[in-house]
Amino acid sequence: MTWLTEELPGTGGRYKVTPEDFQVEEIPLYDCAGSGEHLYLWIEKAGLSTRGLIQQLQRALHISEREIGYAGLKDANALTRQMISIPVANRAGLDKLVLHKAKILSARQHTNKLRLGHLAGNRFTITLRETVPDAAQRARLILEQLQRRGVPNFFGEQRYGILGNSARLGQLLLQHNWLGFCDELIGDPAQIQNQQWQAAARAYQAGQLTEALNYLPERMTDERSLLTMLAAGKTPQQAVKRFPKTLLRLLLSAAQSYFFDQLVKQRLHEPERLLDGDIAFKHVNGACFRVPNAAAEQPRSDSFEISPTAPLFGGKVMLAEGVPGQWESELLAGSGLTLADWNLGSGLSMPGERKPLRIPLYEMALEKGSEQALILRFALPKGSYATSVLREVTKTID
């Protein structure tokens, strides 16, 4: 089975034709106090990643990355609105601040720095273009089933990078395979479409590091940093360990996401069904508990009070028991990793957590656009992705 709504035909169509076709608005977890040592900036950006936005703020305001707070990463190829926090002492620098592909909509003070996960969820407005003639009717039937049974909680395509290898990079970090990491980051020329990048990858494979740097596009700052360090005589291990911890943790998180997605696929046909030994997730507060008797707890899952979970593997994560526990252990062992491998130290250890196999769908609305376009509006809780909805609706995204 590829989709939860396998029996319902999809709408087809394309999205992200323009950044405005994919709009995301963060739902704050709390209101700003109006006073405090931190300034919360409500920022709209288009065609720009959250990391790119943070780098602009660092340079313009002369502050370190650790002084900047954000609740979540937002898609680069989209029109997004999200909160970013900076020290209130840097307010004066905003007067002369000019951001590329972004603008500050408002600024309010608060008592604490914004932390990762400090959001309730996200609202999406997505335009699907070139859909089938009866797309609205098809989408409505699919979305109604997703509201009833839940949306499969895939991380999906945006989690794994332009070459789809972010999870592989994370696994190489866990294995301490530094040279393999460098090779993977620069990329396989056969999978690269950009001609400059492809030429750089070929030069790198030939050991011509200076030539690779000359070819590599300027915007590829991580790859350029790696090549610069290698050309200066640093070992692969030294070069990799000089990357910002935020980037390395992002890649480790991608590895966690990959394993989680495999377990979602394994139970895609019945994401609401509990099994003996499962660890269930309470949607009201995010707490988890073991399920020794699945039959006794199944009514709570049927009412969407609770859901089965799968792990984001880490050094301290709790694994399931019984059949679901066997699936989890076999997946990790098959990769050649153990839970202890996630205890990397130096600010890179990943404790792990449990995530529900499915998520609720809120605020659903449909609207027909011009020229066979369909506009979808919905909200999802934090830590979940709109592509999980789109793959079910369109039946074209895998």
Catalytic site positions: 75
Q: Could you tell me the maximum CA-CA distance found in the chain, to the nearest angstrom?
A: 65
Residue appearing with tokens 């703020």: 57
- The residues pairing with 102 across neighbouring beta strands, listed in sequence order, are 45
For residue 185, the tally of other CB atoms under 10 A from its CB is: 25
Token digits of residue 71:
């609740």
CB-based contact 342:390 (threshold 8 Å): no
